[in-house]
Amino acid sequence: MPVTGTTDADYADVCARLLGRTPGGDDVVGCKLKVDWLERNVPVIDDESDKESVQRYVRSYILQLIGGCLFADKSNRFVHLMVLPLLEDFQVAGQYSWGSACLAYLYSELCRGSRAGAHEVAGASILVQLWTWDRFPFIAPRRLRVSRAQQRTVDGQNMLMDVPLRHRWLDAFSVSQSATHVVSAYRDALDSQRHDDDVVWQPYTELMGSLPDYCTNGHGSWLSTCPLNCFHIVEWHRPERVMRQFGMVQVVPPNCAYDAQLHRLELRGHHHENWVTFHASYIHMWENRGEHCDSGT
């Protein structure tokens, strides 16, 4: 299901019901809650805690994850409370397409970050970093050693597993061969690429078969040209522009339709909207995304 709903809610009351505590008047700004209030008011649980207390603790943890990483804002001080009602029933919460919402939020923030005068970017920017490392290894940090987590014993021999860089947190890295915080150096490196030699067009090919099911859940949507929804945000998923990523032939892609008014839409001035109704046409397209899958050439 798309991550959407209404923002017409009394969020102090929502917090009291789902988190067990009511934030002060200055702690809620519009549809956002101050992260430091959330950190100070994490419910305390132990082995004797009842089910409701544990659920409130889990909601608090998920909200911190959302505010600190998945849907982070530029200040890193607030978390969007509009997602909290979606966490009321965990059985239902697991049916939402959080991944597509995360991408929609990130795409929107990347657009804002590309504007003249912008100095920061919000959203899960670590995804952009890891996307870059995996596809342009010549600008990724060089590995110095291999962690235990990346070794597997096969027939009595230690075998190195070629895992994505995001799995290599226990490694030691060297940045002496990669510029850090030097925009001109990265531009020069990208400009001097040798055709296909420096680009990994189809990463993870050897890993796909070993991934747990939750990593490939919904894989039928990967090739669907469809809108990604996150409350007020609607961004398009455009697999037809990256067909080589899926092992297919890339043709010249068509121009992307662009709705300037939709792209400028913000929560400001729309705090009392029902986004299910507001974006009904885009939600309908998402629900029928299976009909718009590109089979490749």
Which pLDDT does position 155 carry in this prediction?
54
| List of residues 6+ apart from 191 with CB closer than 8 A | none
Which pLDDT does position 170 carry in this prediction?
53
| Residue 77 located in a structural domain | yes
Structurally, the chain folds into a number of domains equal to 1
| Residue 275 located in a structural domain | no
Q: CA-to-CA distance for 165 and 34, rounded, in angstroms?
A: 32
Which pLDDT does position 63 carry in this prediction?
93
The band of 51, judged by pLDDT with boundaries at 50, 70 and 90, is very high
- Kindly report, residue by residue over 107-117, the tens digit of the pLDDT: 999 998 888 88
| Residue 21 located in a structural domain | yes
| Residue 16 located in a structural domain | yes
pLDDT > 70 fraction of the chain, expressed in percent and rounded: 85
Distances (CA, A) of 294 to 36, 138, 150, 223: 45, 31, 35, 6
* Residue 270 amino acid letter: H
Contact 18, 61 (CB under 8 A): no
| List of residues 6+ apart from 291 with CB closer than 8 A | none
| Residue 108 located in a structural domain | no
pLDDT > 90 fraction of the chain, expressed in percent and rounded: 33
| Residue 67 located in a structural domain | yes
Q: CA-to-CA distance for 191 and 97, rounded, in angstroms?
A: 36
Q: What are phi and psi of 33, to 5 degrees?
A: -115, 140
Better-scored residue on pLDDT, 250 or 3:
3
Predicted TM-score (pTM) of the model is 0.85
Domain boundaries, position 78: 11-94
Lowest mean pLDDT among 90-99, 126-135, 178-187, 255-264: 178-187
- Kindly report, residue by residue over 144-198, the tens digit of the pLDDT: 655 554 555 545 555 555 555 555 555 566 666 666 667 788 888 888 887 677 8
Q: CA-to-CA distance for 146 and 149, rounded, in angstroms?
A: 8
| Residue 197 located in a structural domain | no
Which pLDDT does position 295 carry in this prediction?
65
Q: What are phi and psi of 153, to 5 degrees?
A: -85, 120
Please tell me which of 123-137, 232-246, 258-272 the model is most confident about, judged by mean pLDDT: 232-246
Mean pLDDT of 218-243: 90
The band of 62, judged by pLDDT with boundaries at 50, 70 and 90, is very high
Which pLDDT does position 209 carry in this prediction?
77
| Residue 250 located in a structural domain | no
